[in-house]
Structure formats: C-alpha cells, structure tokens
Structure 1
Amino acid sequence: MYIAHVRELDKEIQPINKHLLGVQRLAEQFGEKLGLKHVAGLAGLLHDLGKYSDKFQEYIDIVAFHPELPQPKRGEVDHSTAGGRLLFELLHHKESSFYEKLLAEIVSNAIISHHSNLQDYLSPDIESDYLRRVQDKTLPEYELAIDRFFMDTISKEEFIDYMNAAVDELKLFTDHSPTQSFFVTKYIFSCLIDADRTDTRSFEEQVEAGEPTQHLLLFDAYYRRLMDHLATFKEKSNASEPINVLRAQMSEQCDVFAVERPSGIYTLSIPTGGGKTLASLRYALRHALKYDKQRIIYVVPYTTIIEQNAGEVRKILKDNEHILEHHSNIIEEEQEGKGDSDEADDGLITNKEKLKLARDNWDSPIIFTTLVQFLNVFYAKGNRNTRRLHNLSHSVIVFDEVQKVPIHCISLFNEALNFLKQDAHCSILLCTATQPTLEKVQHSLLKNRDGEIVPNLSEVSKAFKRVELVDKTDKSMTTGDLADWINAEIHEWGSTLVILNTKSVVKDLYERLQGGPLPVYHLSTSMCAAHRKEKLKEIRDLLEDQVPFICVTTQLIEAGVDVSFKCVIRSLAGLDSIAQAAGRCNRHGEDESQNVYIIDHAEEALSKLKEIKVGKDTSSNVLAIFKKKADKYEGSLLSPKAMTEYFLYYYHKMEANLNYFVSEVDKEMTKLLMSLSPENDYVTHYQKKHGTSFPLLLNGSYKTAAEHFQVIDQKTTSVLVPYGGGKELIAQLNSGAWLEDVSKFLKQAQQYTVNLYSHELKQLRESNAIVEHLDGMIYEVKENWYSDNYGVDLKGEGGMDELIV
C-alpha cells in the first residue's frame, strides 16, 4: 500500500490510489460545469503522482510513525512535479496539435503548482519556472513513480483514452485567446485545489463528501417567502402613495426581466431608497429558477453592507444555515517558500493543516462577500483565494454599489466579468443609483444591449428626489471651522451625519464635538463588524425615536447602510460619493426636502488618495458647469445624465490608472497575464537570449502577477479583536476548543476581525499588542488596544474606556 496521507489522530492511512481517484471524481464534477470534466479530472488524477516514489514513502513513514528518529525537513520531497512532467512529455512535442499543447500547458501548470501559486510560463527575468519544472528539473525516481501509477491507479491505455477525451473537450471550448486561457487555467487550478482539500478533509473527518445542496428547491422556497414578504407592503396604508407604487413597479420589472432575458450583464439603477436589495434578490431568485443557477452571490464594497443586507435577507428568507457572509480571510496564507521546496502537503494531517482544509470554498447557495474577496479569487496569490473560483460558475452575481470598484482594478474587473458571462454561464447584475461607464474604457465590459432593467430612469430619478444639494465649496473649512459651524446650526438641523474623506480628520472632528450641545457618535473601519453593527443599532434607535445627535464617519456609511438623517454634510469627493451620501438624508421621504451640504475640507491629506483627489477635482468641474447651465443635467446634480458625464470625465482623467500597473516590473497586469506572443516583449527577449523561438503557446507571468496584486494600495492583515463574542473566540483559540469545528470558528470569527494596514500591524507589534497563533496564521489584538470609541487603538488606551463615565 502506497501512502498519500496519515491521519494524526489514529494513524489511519489513505492510499495514494484512493486519494487520486477521489480527487479526480470531485474535480470532474467541478470541471463539468464548464464542459471541462476530463480536463479538470486529469489534474486530479495526476496531482500527487510523485508520492509513489520511495523517497516520499520513506519520508512520510518517518514523519508519521517514527517521531523518535531525526525528522526530515517538512516538504523536502517534491511530489507535485512528476504528474505535470508526465503530461508535458506525452502531449508537448513537435508532432503535437495546438490543442494537445494547450491542454498540457494548462493542466500541468495546475498540477506542479497545487501547493503554491501558478508558475510563470515566462517571467520578467526571461526565465520559465514552468519549463524548468516540467522539463529540466532532476527527478530521481520519476520512472518508478510512473510505473507504480499505471499499475496501482489506472492502466496506461485507460489513461491515454482519458487524456484524449480532455483534448476533445478543450478543442470545443477554447477561443484561442490568451485571455480565456488565463481564466481557464485558473478555473482548472481552482477545481484541483478544492477537490484535493475536500477529499483530504473527508478522510481526516472520516466522512464521505456530503450530497450537494438542492439549490433549486431552496430557491423556490426562498422566492415564495420573498413574495409573501412583498405582499405585506401592499397591505400597508401608504401602499397607494406614488413612491410606493413606483417601488412595486420596479420590483415587478425585475421579475419579468429575470424570466424574459437570458443570462448576461445587466444594470439595475434603482435610486437610493427604491428597494434595490429586495428587487435585486427578486431578480436573482427568479432568474436562478428559470435558468438553473446554482448559487446567488452578492458582492459589495464594504463589510457594513454585508452585515445589513445579509441580515435583511436572512430575516425574509427565514434561513441562517445556507447564507454565508464572507468578509475576509481570518487565516493568513503562509509565506511561500523559495524554489521547489514548498511542498506543503507532507502527508501528515496536523491541526495546522486542518485550517487549510476548512470548508472555505463558497459552496453555500447564497453568499455575501466583498469586492476585495471577489477580485482576490481571480488575481491574488494564495490557494485559499483561487479555491473558490469554480463555485462562481452558473451563478447569479449581484454587484451592489458597483461604482466602488477601485480604479486600478477596472480592467481586471471587466475581464473577469466578461469570462463569467461568456464562459462560466453567469448572469451579472450591476446595482447602483450611480452607474459607472464601464463599457466605455479600453478593456470594456461586455454589457448586454438594452440591458437596463428600469426604463425611464430620468423620470424615476425625479420621483425619488428628496434632497437639495447645497454647494458651500467656495471657501474651504478647517476642522475647527466645521465644528464651530455644526455647533452653531445643529439645533436647526436636527440629527446630522458628517462624512469626511480620511479617518484622521474624522477622529479630530469627533473629539472637537465632544461636550457640545448634542451626543456624538463615531463609526470607523477600525471597528470590527459586530461593533459597527451595535453602533448602527444605537444610531437607528435614536433616529427612530427622533432624538437629535451627530454621527461622524468616513465613506463606509455611504453605500447600502439604511439610515436616514435630517441633514448631511459631505466633504467634496467624487459625484457618486456625494450622491451616495445624499441617500442617507431624508431617505424615506419623511420630509418634503432636506439639505445636503457639500464642503471643501482644508485639512484632508489626499496626496496618497489619488482616486478621491481626482474624483474631487472632477466633481468641482461638474459643479462649475451646473452653476452656469443646470439644464444640461436636467436641473439636478443627481440625475443620470450628470452621473454619466462625471464618470466619462473621471475615467478619462484616470485612463492611465485603469490597467493595474506593476511598477516593480514596469508592466500592466493585463499584459503580464493575457498577452499574445507577438505583443509580449518578454518573448522577444527570450528568443534573443536563447537564439530559439519560445517553445510554449502561453507566456503569462502568472506567479509574478499574483505576488504583486492587491486590491487596496496597502496590504492589510485580518486580526481577531476582543470585542463582545470576540473575547469568547479568543478564549476558545487559546484553549484549543475551536479545533472541534474549524469551519464554524472561522465563520464566527469574521464578525470580530479588523483589517489592519502593514504600518498599523507593525506599530502594534512594537507595542507588544499582537499575539500570534499557529506560527502567525491567526493574529489576536490584546484587550487594551481595542477601544469602544475608535475600535483598534494604536495607543493602547482602549482598556481605559470603561473607566470614563
């Protein structure tokens, strides 16, 4: 019996052939969703072929059964290269067809990379780590491993037939473009990673992989519950009011559109307060039922929207079990090793290994996640991210507040959505009152023609108008000026929301307003989700009871947070941000009209916040045009025409930033991943350096791109904080009790984490405020460094809050 894994608990053995065939079966299921059953299955069948070597068998025997002997270095035996090399040797030679070569390059890269990141076919230093692995690296027991594979797992004849079936699948699927080849490689890689981890987890937990969720039965029940909920609106006394009639009409339009139009990329431009969340859910459920979609995924810019929308949906659908909130990765990916020694699977399933095997693969029927997590699935390093990709196929994906896609990720975002539409059988809904012109940029989004669900947007926008924008930008204000103005006018205004562009000026204003005429609240991304949720509940209670107060915050409150203030003050920023801020004023039409003041804050440091700076400048231009010729924008700065013109100006000014530029290698990300050979100067340099043509069809620098990709400019790290239930989770973490159900622990922990920038994490470490668990895979913040007012407190004064009355 050849060993693949040994369970640490009872030293039970999982044979290699059982593991390979188990991973093959799962990978086939995942690949079949795109018509690539055998392509994905081939990766599963070959991925651990190298474990058939004597060297690996001796290694795992010592590690698992002989702790008294000197222990070899973890992962020192390369077991992932052999399967990739076998495929390359069989399919990649002079006589091979285009499709055979393409299959070899796609699948063998997934195999050799399944414990790291996909390898570079050609790197910026004009080397091919991929070729070095599949062609040049010395593998002493390669032939022995292959012989055992064909004797123990599958006959050579069966294998050749299977491989040819994979070639035929790819031939039918491919459009010969490097863009599609990148996404297909990622997809097959995702199938392999999830299949490998799922099979290993099943062995570890001594259970067979569960039956897939009956998603259509669930969606049918959900749809009926949603319709029952919507029916209650018709019974209310104000149901016949024009605004409520219009809400009901737009909801009905979503239902009809979902059935009549096939899957594609569409827009839903319901104004703020128009019932966008329930209307988009109605579209998603109806479309999923009609076109057999397997899951519904909501992608939002901020965790605050996840918290609110997921809670609302759970309440209406009456289901907690099948609705996943995925805020961030609780566990940090281990630092990737150098060279080929990073064979993370040494066969022994330890507690640390359980973290990697935890079910973190987005297989829930309804998922709420963030733009960061969505983009990480396609472009970031770390197998935990890529593992989720195959579960995006056959989905309805709703992007809430889509205008918040970071500017440097626009091209990558559009390319990912185009793949999901064209090849992965997804229907995509772009939801916002402020639609960006993503179809008007270089890497354009392939929106469907006549794809807006709500007709007559101008009339709808006018019907929902509830505020007047008051331009006070002629003279800039300091924080002191702003505080004086607020204190002087607050009794006239009532409950007031102040939104500024940076956390530092928000904190300064909050402190200046303390002791003033009204209570002051502060919201920050330095607070964990559970903390913000509690603060927002207090804020909503005060608003409902009509108790005047002031709330000071950043843009985190703008998108999707259902609050309605009497007055809003917004520091000048992009017109979309101003419109979103206006949506927090008189949101439910409590008054005929209220004021939203636009100010120019003099002390915001925006030099490193280019998107906000350019948005601010572009809005200034639109404000100047509006003063001279308001009719151009139908008399409203919040009209669809004003928003379209703003985005056209904005994207034009930011044109050089739309294609993610990797300064370290002086190249755009799309060219690192998706360029034709004639357009890739790395290929030209390779041919000059080696005096021969580049031998591969694909030339992408996949690993280089992944190592340099991050959605936000600075890398952040998730840390567990001692707030509310977070204290109990930290106690579990320290006691080891969480190991009984790792997946449940990780899900709960997301409510009690904060994402810290690298400089913040460094400062806390220097203050001895960070506790590391499992060699730095999980971080915990000590209690004195978490404040009820500010969240994570870099000064370590958090514990003092309880003493201040």
Structure 2
Amino acid sequence: MTTSELLSHPNIPLEVHINNALTILENLRNPNLLSENLEKTLKVALALHDFGKATAYFQKKIRGEKLSPKEKKLSNHSLLSALYTFFVLQKLFKTDYKYPLIGYYIVLNHHSGILKDFSDTLRLGEEKIELLKLQTESINPSAVNRFISNLRLEDELKQLLKFDKGEFLQFLGEVLDIFDELEEDLTSIFNLENLGEFLTVSYLFSLLIDADKTEAGLKEKPLFLGKKVEIPPSAVESYKKTLKGNSPINDLRELAYKIVNTAEIDTEEHFYTLTLPTGMGKTLIGLNFALKLKERLEKKTSKPVKIIYSLPFLSVIDQNAQVLEKVFAPIGDKIVVKHHHLSLGEYLKGENNYELTRLLVESWFAPVVVTTFVQLFESLIPFKNSSARRYNKLTNAVVLIDEVQALPSKFWFLLREYLKEFAKTNNTYFVFTTATQPYLVEEGKELIPQKEKFFSAINRYRVSLKLEKRTLEEFFTEFKPEGGKSYLFILNTVSSSKKAYKLLLECSVPEGDICYLSTHLTPYDRKKRIRELREGKYRFAVTTQLVEAGVDIDFSVVVRDFAPLDSLIQSAGRCNRNFRLPRGEFVVLNLTDENGRRFATRIYDPILLQITEKLLTEFNPTDEVSLIKLSERYYREVWNSKSRDKSEELLKEIKRLNFSKLSAFKLIEEEPYKSDIFVQQNPQAVEIWNAVKQLMKDLKNKKITLWEAKKRFETLKSDFYNFVISVDVSKNTPPIDEDLKIHYIPYEEIDNYYDPKLGYVAEGKTYEEF
C-alpha cells in the first residue's frame, strides 16, 4: 500500500487512523438499530470526518511547523470535513437531504464542546466560504485520492468519496443557497413532531465520536473492545453465600430476594420497578435481576448487554461500587468501572497508560458501570461532546436507577416521555429502585407484586409530628436524651445544623459523643465521619440532608426538620434501619429562624411543602407503615400540581434538534454565589497543594506541555478535591491563588477559616474585626 503521506495525528497516517476507527465502529454499532441508509451515512461520515486535515495548512501544523495567524485559522478542519461529507452523501442520496444533513451535522460537531442547534449549523456566511475555498485550493488531489483508495471500504463507497477539486469548489460556490433552502425545508426533511430524529442523530454522533476518540486513545494497542466478558448470572447468588449477618430483617431480605429471583421476565417490558423499605438490600436484589435480564437479552439478540448502575449522589457511589466490585471479584478486576467527575484519578494511580485508562473509565467500556444521575442523564439526553460519546453504551443495556425519587419533580414529565421512546428505540431496559416510587413510569412492572406486605412487616418506628413552629432554642430547651438511645438530627441548612450542634453541647452532651456532618466539611473529613457513623462510634449526629438517601447508618431516634414527604421518608430510613429495636422514633419538626421564617422554605419547592403539610395534617401518620402509605397520594398530587412547562419546553427543543438548548436540563442547580476553597488542613493536603503548584510552575516554564499537565493533574485530581469545599466566602474570604484561580486556606491560618469540628468558619475573625 502506497501511503498518502497525510497525517491525522503526529506520526500517524490519516488512512491508518480512519481504518482503525472503522474497525472500532464495527464493534460499537448495533446493526439492529441502523437502517441501510443510516449505515452508509455513518460509514461515509466516519471515513471523511478528518478530510479537512488534508489541507496544506493542517499538514504544516501537525508536523510542528510555524503558522501565521491566518494559516492557523485555515488549519481548522471540522467545517471543511463536514461540507465534503455533505457533498458526497448528496451524490449518494440525490434529493433525499435527510442523510447528507445528518452526516454534515455529526462531522461538524465532532470537536465541539456544546453541540450546536441543527438549524444554526446551516448559516455559514461569505467569509467562511472564502476560507473554505482557500483550504480546498491547498489540497493535493492525488494525495487525498491515495488516502481514499487505502480505506477499508466497499469499492462503491470509495468511488463515491473520490475527490475532484473543481467539482467541490463549484459546490462551495453554491452551498449558501442550498443551505438557505434546506433551512426553510427542515420541517419537511425531518419529522420534528416526535423524538425519533433526535435519537437517531444522537446515536450516529455517539458512534462517530466514540470510534474516533477510542482509536486516538488506543493508538497501536490491540483492538480488544469486541471481546465479550462472560459474567455468570449467578454472581450475586455466589457472593451472598459469603455474607454473614444476624440482622432481624435478614429473613425478609431473603424473601424479597427470592421473589425477584423467580420473577417472570418479559423482554417486551422495558420498565421495571423494585419497591422495598429502606435497608432491605435493594442493591443486591436489583443487581441480581439485572444479571438475569442481561442473560435473557443476550440469548435473544446475540449482542453483549451492559449494566449501568446509577445513584443520585457522589457520597453513595463509593459504597455501592465496593459492593459490586466484591460481587464480581471472582470473575476479574476490570468488570466494574466507577465513573464520576473525580474517578479517573483513582484508576490512574499505579497505571502508566493515561490514554487507555481514561478510555476505559470515561467511555463505559466495562460490562458494569457505576455512575451518578448527572453522568447518566447527560449521556441519555446529550448536549455535550464528552457525554454524547457514551450514548451508544446505553443502547442494548439494563439501566438501574437507584433512589429514583431523588430526580427533580419538574423533570418527571420530560423523563417519562423521553425514556419511553428511548427504551423502545434502543432496546434499553430500566429498573427503578426506591422505597417510594414517584409518578415516573406508569406502566412499569413491579418486581415485588405484594410490596405492601413488606412495609407492614417491617414497621420499625413511631412517627411524632410536632408541626407547630418553633426555634432551635425552644426545641433544645425541652430536649432530654434518654439513656441507651442514639439520636440523629437532620437539618435543612448548614447554619441551622451548626446552631443545633452548639445547642446540643449545652444539653450537657459530651463533645466526643457528637458527630457533625455538612458540606462545610471537606470530603476528607466527611468520608471519615460517615465511616465512623457506620461503625457506631457516635451516640449523637447532627447533619444536613447529605445522609438522607443511601448512606447506611442506623439510629434509635431521628429528628428531622420539615421537608417534602419523599425526603422525610428517606430520612426516616436511618431510624432503626436494621430493626435491632422493637420501635425507633421519627420526629418531624417545623423549625424557624429568630424572625419566624421556616428553614424548609429556603431550600424546598413551596408546592411540595404545601402538599406534604396538607397530607400530614389530614392523615396524621403514626408509624412507618402509615407514613409510607402516604407516598402514593403525595406523588399523585405532585404530578397533578407541578407545572410541566419546563419539561414541555425541553421536549420541544429535543424534537427540534436544538442540542445546545438542552444545557438547561440540570439535575443539580448551579449555586453561583459559592466559591471553591482548598483547605490545607493537614500535611497530606499541603503536599497535594504543593504538587499541583509545582505542576503549574513547570507548565509556565514550558518544562511540560499543556497535555502533559492535564495528564499529571488527573492523577492528583481526586486527592486534590478531597480537600475542596464549595461555600459562600463573602463574610470570611480566604486568600486566592493567582496561578490556580482558587481560594485556599493556608495551613498556618487554618484556625481563622476552618474549625476541626464544624468545618468552614462562615463568619470568622477576619470578618468580625471589620
């Protein structure tokens, strides 16, 4: 083979990159999800996505030669590649413009951060056309055609791809008029009334960028990606035999496990619900069902089926990932990958291959992936390049959504409509697990048909409603801890939790008996204290809502400031969790500040609070059974009361292929008033801070490249953020580091800004002096 001598990356021939990417595509794609026309569109788009690298300007850049400012502009390749893709596909599909437009769009965006709205990509302007003509003039046709002849494609497609400079320049002279007409005709070219077009474009785009980035990550390494890992469906059963436990609810856990284990699987049913009280082992029960479903689907489709396990909070990811890793340990150590914004660094420790490790973690190549709601839903409804590459991993998959009630109610309608279409189109199966199922999936099949029996049999606590308004001072003046009982206080704000901690000390409770938890503590301190709580080290704990869902702790008495019903039920799940007492006690308060304003109104939707207050007043639940019974009525009222405007607006943008507008779909609201602070709380933190500072110094002095700096930071990132808090610094502002652009608390000034018990000092000495 005579090479084209065109490079795609340093020292890598363009045809080698494209041929490897085409091979990877064969392993990624599911032919059952692609029509013949879509197959051809995708192949052509992948073959040509780097066509623009054939310009003299790009070739000069990739060889390290110096470029003038104008040449730098002319070395960009995405738009030229996209237009040549459109040009070729137009020849193939004649007047059916749907496929040329899809090919154009997915190639154009393959280096975008936020994806562009479809219609916006058709507005180019004369200035861009002139640059495109200059780029085209610089291309050597014989080199490009050698590149095309070296591609592992059918002869028919290679003939179609053949480059004729004059013909393409003529097209560039006409493209503005062509695109103007196509923009006007978009509604007749695409069906913008349903979700199908969005799902198609997202799938093709995902396959293209995943194949491209995977090839770049693997380089010359063996293409192992098609290798199937055999996971026995009995993996959970084998693991359960190693467990020892004498919890009084073990018999009930075992009964629930057996019911789900023998549940009939209908592969026509894409939605399942698993509804059980907290502490009933939903993680293992759900995983066991997912393995059975995976086995059935693989027999039916002869394609590997991935399991994605998602949870709402970073704080519970590690806990659940550890369980899954133990389940699959006998099979191998690359079965489970944990993916969130800090996880890459954990895997890089002890690994030399940055690219390969990053590929395995961020691309979800493992058979089982544990991730956050944010990562999952940004991949399901993609608007960013980085998450769109994972969309294809959610096809032919079983997705477990644990603690599903944590999804914001304003998005229920959007998710209900979207997931139905997604599941049907992509052969995806969803399992929703929780103690309280929201109105998300009406037609889901419940895996515990007589779930009420479990809730009745496990009546672990009394409910005491104290809904008259009171201040923290009024509550703690009356509070008298009873001997032998442990107490968990869950407050709604950090300030009220700190005040509660101080008032508890005034009740003659020894400081060493109290654990305090909030986001004002570094993750380093929080993880340590949660571990100590699980070990039963403290009799008293004062926390914010961060222990509400999924954190496995157990107290005799749980006192909770007022909150929406689903939050109350989740908090109550920490009360007598393991049924070691005949009855625990769950107390609901209605706390206010000194001005009579309820803390609950500062953080919760008023509609949810009103519905909760109405139901609690009307039905006056007295125990776990009667409290949880209210959840169905609560979710029904929320469904009927909440505005669907946000959901309907986003659904409209999805149908119109307005990808950039989907950035409004945020499961976690941003808090712009908060700033990050690095806390040098111990010698380990100081060492990590100094390592990152040295990295920046090396970058400034050009001892390392930006790429090398990013790689080195990834290995430090999880440790670095172990000491970072995000808080309002307006009343006690620590210094800011100009290199790292982050506030930091120097080790020698720690007392001014960070209390070892309560964390960040919101109004410290520096504030009070002025």
Name 1:789's counterpart in structure 2: 757
Q: Is the 8 A contact 1:301 1:404 kept in 2?
A: yes
**Residue 221 of structure 2, aligned match among 190, 207, 211:** 207
SS in 2 for 1:659: helix
- Change in Cα spacing, 1:145 to 1:73, as seen in structure 2 (3 Å) is closer
**For residues 413-428 of structure 1, what are the structure 2 equivalents within 5 Å?**
413-428=415-430
Does structure 1 residue 403 correspond to structure 2 residue 405?
yes
- Change in Cα spacing, 1:95 to 1:379, as seen in structure 2 (3 Å) is closer
Name 1:189's counterpart in structure 2: 205
**Residue 458 of structure 2, aligned match among 445, 455, 464:** 464
Name 2:607's counterpart in structure 1: 614
**Residue 575 of structure 1, aligned match among 561, 565, 588:** 565
Does structure 1 residue 702 correspond to structure 2 residue 659?
yes
User: Aligned partners of 1:85 and 1:511: how far apart in 2?
Assistant: 66
**Residue 474 of structure 2, aligned match among 481, 501, 505:** 481
1:430 Cα deviation after fit: 0.1
Q: Which amino acid aligns with 2:147?
A: D
Q: Is the 8 A contact 1:51 1:145 kept in 2?
A: no
Name 1:102's counterpart in structure 2: 98
SS in 2 for 1:597: strand
User: Aligned partners of 1:163 and 1:119: how far apart in 2?
Assistant: 31
**For residues 556-571 of structure 1, what are the structure 2 equivalents within 5 Å?**
556-571=546-561
User: Aligned partners of 1:161 and 1:745: how far apart in 2?
Assistant: 43
**For residues 245-394 of structure 1, what are the structure 2 equivalents within 5 Å?**
245-257=251-263, 259=265, 261=267, 264-292=270-298, 293-318=304-329, 321-328=334-341, 360-379=362-381, 381-394=383-396
- Change in Cα spacing, 1:330 to 1:149, as seen in structure 2 (3 Å) is farther
User: Aligned partners of 1:781 and 1:381: how far apart in 2?
Assistant: 36
User: Aligned partners of 2:756 and 2:196: how far apart in 1?
Assistant: 48
Count of aligned residue pairs for this structure pair:
689
1:596 Cα deviation after fit: 0.2
1:569 Cα deviation after fit: 0.7
Q: Which moved more, 1:303-312 or 1:138-147?
A: 138-147
User: Aligned partners of 1:277 and 1:542: how far apart in 2?
Assistant: 22
- Change in Cα spacing, 1:527 to 1:95, as seen in structure 2 (3 Å) is same
Q: Which amino acid aligns with 1:400?
A: D
Q: Is the 8 A contact 1:467 1:593 kept in 2?
A: yes
Name 1:508's counterpart in structure 2: 499
Q: Which amino acid aligns with 1:130?
A: L
Q: Which amino acid aligns with 1:703?
A: S
1:399 Cα deviation after fit: 0.7
Q: Which amino acid aligns with 1:297?
A: I
SS in 2 for 1:712: coil
Q: Which moved more, 1:783-792 or 1:319-328?
A: 783-792
User: Aligned partners of 1:164 and 1:415: how far apart in 2?
Assistant: 40
Name 1:491's counterpart in structure 2: 482
**For residues 75-154 of structure 1, what are the structure 2 equivalents within 5 Å?**
77-91=75-89, 96=94, 100-116=96-112, 117-122=114-119, 128-132=120-124, 137-138=129-130, 139-140=132-133, 141-142=135-136, 145=139, 147=141, 148-154=143-149
SS in 2 for 1:599: strand
Q: Is the 8 A contact 1:375 1:413 kept in 2?
A: no
Q: Is the 8 A contact 2:497 2:544 kept in 1?
A: yes
- Change in Cα spacing, 1:101 to 1:133, as seen in structure 2 (3 Å) is farther
Name 1:51's counterpart in structure 2: 53
Does structure 1 residue 244 correspond to structure 2 residue 212?
no
Q: Is the 8 A contact 2:559 2:587 kept in 1?
A: yes
**Residue 649 of structure 1, aligned match among 596, 618, 637:** 637
Q: Which moved more, 1:319-328 or 1:129-138?
A: 129-138
User: Aligned partners of 1:29 and 1:588: how far apart in 2?
Assistant: 46
1:35 Cα deviation after fit: 3.4
User: Aligned partners of 2:224 and 2:754: how far apart in 1?
Assistant: 40
SS in 2 for 1:257: coil
**Residue 667 of structure 2, aligned match among 692, 698, 711:** 711
Q: Which amino acid aligns with 1:376?
A: E
Name 1:343's counterpart in structure 2: none
Residue deviations 1:78-120 (CA, integer Å, cap 9, x gap): 20112221232344599845xx422222232111111113221
Residue deviations 1:120-160 (CA, integer Å, cap 9, x gap): 123xxxxx333428997441233765945443124899475
**For residues 729-748 of structure 1, what are the structure 2 equivalents within 5 Å?**
730=689, 732-734=691-693, 746=714
User: Aligned partners of 1:358 and 1:763: how far apart in 2?
Assistant: 43
User: Aligned partners of 1:712 and 1:30: how far apart in 2?
Assistant: 31
1:388 Cα deviation after fit: 2.0
1:514 Cα deviation after fit: 3.7
- Change in Cα spacing, 1:90 to 1:780, as seen in structure 2 (3 Å) is farther
Percent identity over paired residues: 23
Q: Which amino acid aligns with 1:646?
A: Y
User: Aligned partners of 2:403 and 2:9: how far apart in 1?
Assistant: 47
Q: Is the 8 A contact 2:412 2:647 kept in 1?
A: yes
Name 2:533's counterpart in structure 1: 539
- Change in Cα spacing, 1:263 to 1:328, as seen in structure 2 (3 Å) is farther
User: Aligned partners of 2:416 and 2:69: how far apart in 1?
Assistant: 49
1:275 Cα deviation after fit: 1.3
Q: Is the 8 A contact 1:360 1:743 kept in 2?
A: no
Unaligned stretches of 5+ in structure 1?
8-12, 123-127, 166-173, 333-350, 441-446, 661-667, 675-698, 799-805
**Residue 29 of structure 1, aligned match among 14, 27, 40:** 27
Q: Which amino acid aligns with 1:669?
A: L
Residue deviations 1:262-319 (CA, integer Å, cap 9, x gap): 5611100011121111111111222222323532211111112212111223234336
Q: Is the 8 A contact 2:487 2:556 kept in 1?
A: yes
Q: Which moved more, 1:278-287 or 1:145-154?
A: 145-154
- Change in Cα spacing, 1:412 to 1:300, as seen in structure 2 (3 Å) is same
Q: Is the 8 A contact 1:769 1:782 kept in 2?
A: no
Q: Is the 8 A contact 2:486 2:556 kept in 1?
A: yes
Name 1:226's counterpart in structure 2: 236
User: Aligned partners of 1:397 and 1:309: how far apart in 2?
Assistant: 15
Name 1:678's counterpart in structure 2: none
Q: Is the 8 A contact 2:78 2:109 kept in 1?
A: yes
Q: Is the 8 A contact 1:324 1:367 kept in 2?
A: yes
Q: Which amino acid aligns with 1:266?
A: Y
- Change in Cα spacing, 1:330 to 1:463, as seen in structure 2 (3 Å) is closer
Residue deviations 1:591-631 (CA, integer Å, cap 9, x gap): 111110011111344556343x332221111112204xx79
Residue deviations 1:436-480 (CA, integer Å, cap 9, x gap): 01146xxxxxx44xx00001122221011111111110x112122
- Change in Cα spacing, 1:236 to 1:57, as seen in structure 2 (3 Å) is closer
- Change in Cα spacing, 1:744 to 1:482, as seen in structure 2 (3 Å) is farther
Q: Is the 8 A contact 2:462 2:624 kept in 1?
A: no
SS in 1 for 2:398: strand
SS in 2 for 1:638: helix
Q: Is the 8 A contact 2:520 2:725 kept in 1?
A: no
User: Aligned partners of 1:163 and 1:646: how far apart in 2?
Assistant: 63
User: Aligned partners of 2:87 and 2:376: how far apart in 1?
Assistant: 36
- Change in Cα spacing, 1:163 to 1:610, as seen in structure 2 (3 Å) is farther
User: Aligned partners of 2:716 and 2:69: how far apart in 1?
Assistant: 36
User: Alignment RMSD, CA only?
Assistant: 4.2
Residue deviations 1:195-236 (CA, integer Å, cap 9, x gap): 222222233xx5344444533x2x21xx54421332356x87
SS in 2 for 1:490: coil
Name 1:10's counterpart in structure 2: none
Does structure 1 residue 523 correspond to structure 2 residue 536?
no
TM-score under structure 2 length normalisation: 0.78
Unaligned stretches of 5+ in structure 2?
162-189, 299-303, 346-352, 699-703
Q: Is the 8 A contact 1:436 1:647 kept in 2?
A: yes
1:741 Cα deviation after fit: 11
- Change in Cα spacing, 1:225 to 1:17, as seen in structure 2 (3 Å) is closer
Name 2:196's counterpart in structure 1: 180
Does structure 1 residue 437 correspond to structure 2 residue 434?
no
Name 2:617's counterpart in structure 1: 624
Q: Which amino acid aligns with 1:16?
A: L
Q: Is the 8 A contact 1:503 1:554 kept in 2?
A: yes
User: Aligned partners of 1:317 and 1:748: how far apart in 2?
Assistant: 28
SS in 1 for 2:241: helix
